[in-house]
Amino acid sequence: MSAERAPGGSDRGWSLALAFLVAIRLAIPLLALAFSGHALPGLPAYRYHALNGDSFGFYAATREFIASIGRVSKPLLLCSVLLVVGATVIAARLWRRSPRRRWVAVLLPAAAITLAVTLPIHKMHPPGAAVFGWPLLWSLPMIPIRAVGLDPTPDVAFVIGLTLTLGALAVAVVGTAYVGVYSTGRRSVGLAAAALFTIWPLLTGQIAGHSAWENGQWNIDVGLHLYTEPLSTALVVASVALLLRPATEPLWRAGAGLAIGYAAAVKLTNGVVGIALAALVAWRHGWRMAVPYAAGGLVSLPIVLAYWPKGYVGMFDGATSASSHPWALAYAGDAWRHSLLFTPRLLLLLAPLFVVGCFSIRDRWLLAVVCTPIAVNVLVYSFYDVTALHPRFLHAALPFVFVLEASGAVALVRAIQRRRRPFDEVRVL
């Protein structure tokens, strides 16, 4: 296998290139924050506010969760601690004694932690956040702050939340690169896809116009508004990268399942992506091989179920949306004709290389896995009444679009090189 087609990532040049792309992606929000109140060239102006829009609800959910821990009875808290410790001990023994069941050893403590977390969730009052995956992660670093008697103010929470968000963006960059490598066997595709994801915030306004910056869209994309999208995207990309990993063992499938399962707690429609991917794994490897992935995905289900009455239902008095008719076939036209970001011009620019990229991946299963997050998000949100105003709903699909764009570009370059080679040989002769 040539260096170009080698799917590994141990080469120093590959690692340095990924590190460089991660640094650029993280520098974008940090520079905008450093120059708060001033517009950088070609970018929208950003003015620091610790909380914006939905992040008020997410922050409230973190505080409510921390407070609800004290509402759980001490015997139940003790039982939950014993459950986690016991599951960890059993998992450690299973890890040592049965290498073939190490995927079970990983899922056991994760399931115990999930069940323990549901205890304070049940005690929560509806905090104004529709989903709980992001507030749960955000709350974990705040718990020690509260434990020592300090108050995690919005400014403190912003620093913690931004740090977590930057970590998610870094994972998304690296995950995008590996999805590109594993789906095509070419490092050039992986790096090109990761580069597209990296510079995407710098291109949106130039391609789609200033509407791409409206409704806080750009700030959400780069992580400054502390919304769910960076974490959701990172988890979905990480899950797909683990599934596509060559000669994936049950342990890695279980890890992929854990990632997509928690992604569903962050954004409910990611659960649909997980179900579709589980079917694809079963199709390729058989139902027995799909069990670790499905089991990992189900680990976070108790969190989703426990928070359901506190989320959409708690926010909208028993409904699942502020709209009386959130879903309709008639919304599809507006979702794409009037999108703030995915304008007809942007879609036309993306379409040619996207199509070529689809044809360049010869393995239909690999192509199906890459296309699944795109297809699910498009099919679901095309019929949602506010998709045009909130193109962020489609963000989890972007890394996979970039993989196909990069694959198409590399395929065209190689085709041109092959056509030119005979002429070069004739000239030499």
Residues 250-302 have pLDDT tens digits of 999 999 999 999 999 999 999 999 999 999 999 999 999 899 999 999 999 99
pLDDT value for 10: 58
Residues 299-321 have pLDDT tens digits of 999 999 999 999 988 777 766 66
pLDDT exceeds cutoff 80 at 100: yes
Helices vs strands, H then E, count in the chain = 19, 0
Q: Which residues are CB-contacts of 407 (< 8 A; sequence separation ≥ 6)? A: 180, 183, 184, 186, 189, 193, 356, 357, 360, 361
3-state secondary structure of 340: coil
**64: Cα separation from own chain's centroid:** 25
pLDDT top residue among 42 and 390? 390
Q: First-to-last CA distance in the chain?
A: 30
Give the Cα separation of 403 and 386 in Å (integer).
Answer: 27
pLDDT value for 320: 65
- How many percent of the chain have pLDDT more than 70? 94
Helix (H) or strand (E) holding 40: none
Domain ranges within the chain, ordered by starting residue? 12-36+54-306
Q: Which residues are CB-contacts of 409 (< 8 A; sequence separation ≥ 6)? A: 192, 353, 356, 357
Average pLDDT score over residue span 405-427: 80
Give the Cα separation of 33 and 251 in Å (integer).
Answer: 40
| Residue 98 backbone dihedrals phi, psi, to 5 degrees | -135, 85
Amino acid in position 295: A
